Amino acid sequence: MEKFSERVNRMSFSQTFVMSNKVREMKAAGIDVISLTLGEPDFDVPDNIKEAAFAAINNNFSHYSPVPGFLDLRQAVCEKLKRDNGIDYVPAQICVSNGAKQSIMNVLASIINDGDEVILPAPYWVSYDEMVKMMGGKSVFIETTIENDFKMTAEQLENAITPKTKALLYSSPCNPSGSFYTYSELEKMANVIAKYPQITIISDEIYEKINYEGKHVSIAEFPQVCEQTAVINGMSKAFAMTGWRIGYSACPDWLAKAVEKIQGQVTSGANTMAQKASIAALKADPATYQYMIDEFRKRRDLVYDLLQKVPHFKVNDPKAAFYFFPDISYYCGKTLNDTFIRDADDFAMFLLQNANVGTVGGTSFGNPHCIRFSYAASEQELLTAMKRIKECLDNVHIAS
Ligand SMILES: Cc1ncc(COP(=O)(O)O)c(C=O)c1O
């Protein structure tokens, strides 16, 4: 009898972790590798947040919390959603989880039956397709290109809808492309989805705060779809709290209860100290954290200029998050030195082995022509990494 479930056999390991493990192996072997594979801020947790965590420990917040989180945290989330997004929620609609990742799983587990379709505009965050598969659903991909900033149109969205479509899942700002949808683009998407009440929008806004261009817009702001939308957000990226594992969903009433039911049987409430610290994170003036965004913007500009000089890279201009997603299709189907490059995954491996820079191929993000790298690294590391990539590709022997 097959030992493993069909569920686990359907799934793959994340390419991001495959590449970061490879980087770790090379480093352990004494090779000087710069890793731009992982997506997390390289800042320390701000002091006001740490102090709230110490206070929570000293005040003995050491017991189980309510499944959807402490009431004062859920109230702070509602205040944040009103302050930053202009949306009215009550605490009963908020479920605090072990990271935004769990919040997305909770929503998918609440709505997806075997064979249901979930629309994923590509490129998408690696875990989305795997989560859909885990739930027995089927991802339906919408292709985009670098020329349109990796964004789908409302027409493409409508064409992808079938009677089996149960959800639309996307991140704005987007990991991996760094693009975000504007007010008018979201309004057009909302007008499409409003015609199909069976569809739930899962709007992953975890990169909301890392936006260099303007005001973040949530699709839940549009009244025609607010009863169909689950907003996903959390502490990881905005407050450099990736390891503290706090995320949340804000759902319409009908969905909030189901989300709580799932979480209650899987993990219970999230870590209590981290929940208390998250209240301090959310309640502080957003200007407290502006220094991280300013720094990311400086690095984005630096890397953008350096990338223009790398041969045959088509470079996107990311306006949010902390990733570049250049199109490297020129190199696909060619032999570089002695290595045949089939797709962006092969190219990322080639860069790792020949330039000692770790990036991630785009296949598992739904685009085999691009590579993703994070610029959440020090300026010195970024300068050296870009120099190594350029020198490697300036000197490579290319055969068709
Ligand atoms: C688009 C996107 N959503 C969600 C997450 C996960 O966030 P969390 O750390 O809160 O689980 C990530 C992390 O990389 C991400 O890139």
Distance from the CA of 379 to the center of ligand 1, in angstroms?
24
Percent over 70 (pLDDT), the chain: 100
pLDDT single digits (tens) 177-235 = 999 999 999 999 999 999 999 999 999 999 999 999 978 999 999 999 999 999 999 99
The residues, any chain, with a CB within 8 Å of residue 84's CB and separated by 6 or more, are 208, 216, 286
CB neighbourhood size of 399 (10 A): 9
Which DSSP helix (H) or strand (E) runs through 170? strand 165-171
By residue count, the chain amounts to 400
Q: What separation in Å is there between the alpha carbon of 82 and the centre of ligand 1? A: 22
10 Å CB burial of residue 196 (0-12, 13-18, 19+) is middle
Q: pLDDT of 77-131, one tens digit each?
A: 999 999 999 999 999 999 999 999 999 999 999 999 999 999 999 999 999 999 9
Strands 323-324 and 334-336, by their bridges, are unpaired
What pLDDT score was predicted for residue 17?
Answer: 81
Q: Which atom of ligand 1 is nearest to the CA of 204?
A: 3
In this structure, how many other beta carbons lie within 10 angstroms of the beta carbon of residue 265?
10
Q: Is ligand 1 within 6 A of the CB of residue 236?
A: yes
Please report the domains of the chain, with CATH numbers, ordered by start residue: 6-44+289-399 (3.90.1150.10), 47-284 (3.40.640.10)
Structure tokens at 52: 């709230």
Strand bridging mode 334-336 / 398-399? antiparallel
pLDDT average, residue stretch 257-282: 98
- The pLDDT of 279-291, averaged and rounded, is 96
- Pick the closest to residue 148 from 279, 314, 311 (CA basis): 314
Scanning 59-176, the segments in alpha helix (DSSP H) are: 71-85, 100-111, 126-134, 154-160
> 370: which DSSP letter?
B
Give the model's confidence band at 252: pLDDT under 50 very low, under 70 low, under 90 confident, else very high. very high
237 lines ligand 1 (CB under 6 A): no
pLDDT at 303: 96
Confidence of residue 16 (pLDDT cuts 50, 70, 90): confident
Does the beta carbon of 100 lie inside 6 Å of ligand 1?
A: yes
C-beta 316 within 6 A of ligand 1: no
With the most atoms of ligand 1 within 8 angstroms of its CB, the residue from 203, 206, 364 to mutate is 206
Vertex 184 angle, CA 181 and 190, to 5°: 80
Helices then strands, each counted (H, E), the chain? 13, 15
Question: pLDDT for 54-71, tens place per residue?
Answer: 999 999 999 999 999 999
Determine if ligand 1 sits within 6 Å of the CB of residue 101: yes
Does ligand 1 lie within 6 Å of residue 174's CB atom?
A: no
Residue nearest to atom 13 of ligand 1 (CA): 39
Q: Assess whether the C-beta atom of 99 lies below 6 angstroms from ligand 1.
A: yes
Q: What is the mean pLDDT of the chain?
A: 96
DSSP 173: S
**Separation of alpha carbons 253 and 240, rounded Å:** 30
Beta carbon of 98 within 6 Å of any ligand 1 atom: no
Tell me if 247 CB under 6 Å of ligand 1: yes
